[in-house]
A and B are shown apart, each in its own frame.
Chain A
Amino acid sequence: MMAAILMAQSPARAALDDRFTRLVLDHQRRIYRFIFGMVGVEALAEDLTQDVFLSAYRALDRLPADANEQAWLFTIARNRALQELRRRKILRWVPLARPREEGEGDDDTHPFDEGAPLADAVAERDRLRRAMAQVPPKDLACLLLSIDGHSYKEVAEITRLTVPAVRARIFRARERLRQLLSADGDLSLPAEDEA
């Protein structure tokens, strides 16, 4: 059936679909993780990721062939995430790991955790989660994009900001996290400077 659908498409549509296929394969996971970093809820991140790619699919025929597709997708993703956060007015966070359902087995370690008890891992994630929730979303978006490997120039392109503004927002996000995590007392971070 799939073949029939594809065969019925025009060459232009098929080329567009090829391009979209590549977009999904190349960027879907990074977009999902970025959105998840912004909204902190897996199910919501899945929904928003879908929305991002649906938007991309609809607009792809208007995107120049030599456009920076990655920056374009991240722009859509950032805007969609911010729109959602504005709509909700609050940041809803759940543990970064998929929460255990009632009656689920004692699979309480994560491959990264070297056997750390679930309680420790959840506490660590909760601490980070609380801190991330208190960083202004636009600042957090810049920091997450930077961590994702984007240069300041690319972050500026995605966020429609200037490079100095990006620099300032990333600094602010870092400092906010630094303050929050230091105040939390769980991380041995130096106190904020006084001078």
Chain B
Amino acid sequence: MTAMRWRRAWRLPTLPGAENDVNAITTHTGRPTDQFLLGARMFIPLAISVGAYGLVWGVLARQSGLSPAEVALMSTLVFAGASQFVALEMWDPQALPVGAIVFATLIINLRLMLMSATLRPVFKRLKPWRAALATHFVTDESWAMTMAEMARGRGSLAYLLGAGSLCFIAWLVAALAGHLLGSAIDDPARYGLDFAFTATFLALLLGMSKGKADIVPWLVAALAAIATARLVPGNWHVIVGGLAGSLVGAVIETRRERPDVA
């Protein structure tokens, strides 16, 4: 797959000088320390938006009944924003649906597999177990930045780790700050804060839109989820709707790419 295809697929901006093929990438440039600091420095604008995300997540985490220790542990060990938002929605401290939460996390984070797979060139000089540990720093944001570097013929493990480390610090600090902020609010529903979940998810959803191609899959997901929520207790509507919508999206997309397939 070419660099152009990837950028289109993941909605990355085309950067000047980024027209080279991914196959042509090298994985070097500069001392590791410089690369680490460069990755961290380039990440600063993104760290601000990750911080805003983290702040919202922390406030909602407090509302869902997570303790500061749980906030820190989840943000450190899971470190995947979308799945952490969904986990909060399903979180009920009195009767925690552990199986559903773990399964939803698996489904939502599957895309990270494609991301660390495309970063394989930067891991190639590492022992496999070290490379596996390094993939923990692959997030939507650090991946996008490192891919952009690779498309320009640069990009390295240290660059990924620099970007990923700043991403991690921003996420963790903001989440804990959000939790602190959230504990200042005694009755969330009185201030309309119970609506913060729905509003946040709607904004996240709209931010993911790639245009008309999303309408049918999202509609299928919405209708399947509404029907499941009526019929099945618990939070399975998230998984049923998510699977139904994404499968329909994939069917439509692959049929469009190959019109000869009936």
Q: Real complex partners, A and B?
A: no
